[in-house]
A and B are shown apart, each in its own frame.
Chain A
């Protein structure tokens, strides 16, 4: 099965938890998760952020659940990188 190795998301989040807390919570999902989070706009109660996660195999559903559990929502998936396995999963 192809593995999701990099994903860039447009996320809307409340001010609290802050960018560091959210990034740390996502990075804590797996040992090799590399997380980059950049706040792009600040509103009265919310912040828009560009969230990038890199890993050998990202579990998107787990990632989505972690983001929503922290009170944030995914607006859009802006970029992805997927590595194929040469069809080995069909053997």
Chain B
């Protein structure tokens, strides 16, 4: 069994694929909104250099990634151990050497990686226009504005992804997510 199929199998027997998906969206949304908040703050305060914006956003992105990684690992490890103990009790057998034992060891790591990488990767995508500006690439408008637009597109895609999962109209769920991001941005703009 290939390692990807093995990961799928372990998520399936522990019925945690839904949890992994939820963590991906929830923390991805966290990453996108945090970046939008920072970028809106910079823009509302009259703009800063791309170098400064990248430094601040990268710091926040790494903190989000580390927080997601550690919090998910700690909580999922406890949950998986509890589930394994309950199953062992029901089976009246030790399951440490079975697929369920393997899942109790590996699933917390997999979910922690998803939970940590999701906000980090989305934050890096939102920051991409700032990187491009630093690299000397000409952008159609202010790099901060382009980054904010990429942030909104990321939020839309996350919302649309949720729509495809729930078999709802993906455009509507995407627009709904953008509406939440727009309301947050407006609040930041007003307070700034």
- Point out residues on A near B: beta carbons under 8 Å: 12, 14, 16-17, 43-46, 68-71, 73
Contact = CB atoms under 8 A, between A and B. Distances in A.
Chain A CB within 10 Å — which of B14, B92, B97, B100 has the most? B100
> Does more than half of chain B's interface fall in helix, strand or loop, or is it mixed?
helix
Given A16-B15, A17-B12, A45 B90 contact: yes
A21 B86 CA distance: 22
Nearest to B95: A71
Contact of A17 (B90, B92, B97, B99): B99
Interface of B: 9, 12-15, 86-87, 90-93, 95, 97-100
B12 A14 contact: no
Contacts, number: 40
A71 B12 contact: no
Given A68-B97, A69-B98, A71-B99, A16 B13 contact: yes
Contacts of A14: 13, 87, 90-91, 100
Contacts of A44: 90
The residue in A14, A16, A69, A71 that gathers the most chain B C-beta atoms within 10 A of its C-beta is A71
A71 B13 contact: yes
Given A14-B87, A68-B98, 19 more contacts: A12-B91, A14-B91, A16-B12, A16-B14, A17-B12, A17-B13, A43-B90, A44-B90, A46-B90, A46-B91, A68-B97, A69-B97, A69-B98, A70-B99, A71-B13, A71-B91, A71-B95, A71-B98, A73-B91
In order of increasing CB-CB distance, the 4 nearest A-B pairs are A45-B90, A71-B98, A71-B100, A16-B13
A12 B90 CA distance: 10
Nearest to A65: B97
B87 A71 contact: yes
Nearest to A12: B91
B103 to A, nearest CB: 9
Contacts of B99: 17, 69-71
Contacts of B86: 45
Contacts of B95: 71
A17 B103 CA distance: 12
A17 B13 CA distance: 5
A12 B14 CA distance: 17
Contacts of A46: 90-91
Given A68-B98, A71-B99, A45 B87 contact: yes
A70 B98 contact: yes
A43 B91 CA distance: 11
